[in-house]
Amino acid sequence: MNRTHWAALLSLTSLACTKETPAPVAAAPAPVVEAPRPPAPKAFDMTRLAAFKALPADMASEQNPSTDDKVALGRMLYFDTRLSKNHDISCNSCHALDKGGVDGEQFSKGHKGQLGGRNSPSVFNAALHVAQFWDGRAGTVEDQAKGPVLNPGEMAMPDAKQVEKVLSSMPQYVEAFAKAFPGEKQSLSFDNAAKAIAAFERKLVTPGRWDKFLAGDQEALTQAEKDGFDTFMASGCVACHAGVGVGGGMYQKLGLVQPWPNQKDQGRFEVTKNEADKMMFKVPSLRNVAKTAPYFHDGSAKTLPEAIKLMAKHQVGRELPEKDVASIATFLEALNGEAPAALVAAPELPPSTAKTPKPDPT
């Protein structure tokens, strides 16, 4: 083989060695199949909220105008046990601001451990109610504030003069009354003490997610809570529980359809002596109801589901299935709100002096 043939052979060999191998063809990716998406929830029909109203910033009264000094005085008086005969009970004892405005007991303990005859209702938002007490015997929180102080079974002070004697024995209270009621010849009085307590209570509003929802924020409630509202409406609860307090705006017969088991307390009849008022009670507000067990004037329902079942049975004549009871309870949880933290905290009270009457356990 000559030199020319060798060169040609080497050239062919070189080409064979340097020729690229074709890249393997990648397999086509499998098509992506998306899981079916659940249908978007329908927008809530806000016109269905026409029977309700959001809370105001406070519960002001033209007859008892609010001032910072009056509210500060009322807050001290609300927490002061020296407004009771034995210096051991305050307004906050039965209407504890850190417990939803109640004490969590079926019946509250008064002077010498006496038990009251009715469950203590919440003080939160109470100034918006049609009247005060279960039987409506006080028209305003100003009137209501006087009752327990002089009630022998509650705070048991013998009379208004004794209240004034206690308060006037402490210079800081004398000064506080003068600031709260300027220009009055006798600023420190039992009537003004009640007005100050009421001015404080009128600040105890508890806005929450429900109020945001009423204002148009559809995300303020969960879907389960909205479903609970539907169940609440369909079950007939709204007939009595409506308005700004989701209740508290009217009287209703307890046992409207089926008689209430406990007929001992005849409610508003005890005040009016009108036969039509037998078993009539003020409809309670459902705001913060999840925090205020036990329920009803007699404290007979220990849990919220039990209360819902009893209302359905005795007021609308229905035996609700458990799922509906749970649904309504879910909605009622959304009615919780918070009072201003600065008002709920216990204040520093004026110190007693040598002139301050001593506790009287008799």
Name the residues annotated as catalytic: 154
The crossing angle, in degrees rounded to 10, of helices 322-333 and 223-234 is 120
| Phi, psi angle pair for 253, to nearest 5° | -75, 125
Strand positions, DSSP E, the chain = 251-253, 280-282
Q: How many residues does the chain have?
A: 362
Closest CA relative to residue 102, chosen from 24, 2, 206: 206
Q: How many CB atoms lie within 10 A of CB 49?
A: 16
CB-count burial class (<10 Å; 0-12, 13-18, 19+) for 2: exposed
- Distance of CA 185 to CAs 63, 181, 193, 345, Å? 19, 9, 15, 32
d(CA 105, CA 241): 23
